[in-house]
Amino acid sequence: MVVRQQTAHKSGYLQWDMDHSVLKSVRYYHNMWLTIEQPGDYYVYSRVTFSKGDPKLPLVSMVKLRESEKIEEKIVMQAYCNLDSSGVSQLCTATQGELLTLEKGNQLSVWLPDLSLVNYEEGATTFGIFRL
């Protein structure tokens, strides 16, 4: 999935650019959640590139799972990276991947503490799943 740039400067879920994403046996919900249509084992991956640091918040990317849209989500994967505060323009990428067994109706999304820190250049921040 390709990520759409957001103007929010707060925590939240990445939004997917559906015009540049491929979906098979998956549908999306409110442009933020991928909904599983076929149960099975999936390789889930996330790559979030940060272009700015925050002196108070860690640079963390969390993949969250909820069993359905009415059930509270839980963290199933998280990755961190670090930018020093030298003021020099830098990038760091939090990459993660894991095999998850998912049921029909399960939903996945990527949550960040500050969406304004993300690098939205093409290919810098992505999310996807492959059914095995």
Q: How far out from the chain centre does Cα 67 lie?
A: 17
18-62 residue pLDDT tens: 665 555 555 555 678 888 889 999 999 999 999 888 878 889 999
Contacts with 111 (C-beta within 8 Å, 6 or more apart), sequence order: 11, 12, 13, 14, 61, 62, 63, 64, 73
Domain boundaries of the chain, sorted by first residue: 3-131
Q: What is the tens place of the pLDDT at every residue in 80-118?
A: 998 866 656 688 999 999 999 999 999 999 999 999 899
Distance separating alpha carbons of residues 16 and 110, to the nearest angstrom: 10
Domain 3-131 coded CATH 2.60.120.620 = no
Task: State how far Cα 129 lies from the chain centre.
Answer: 11
3-state secondary structure of 18: helix
Sign of CA dihedral 38, 35, 108, 6: positive
Query: What would the mean pLDDT of 64-79 be, rounded to a whole number?
Result: 90
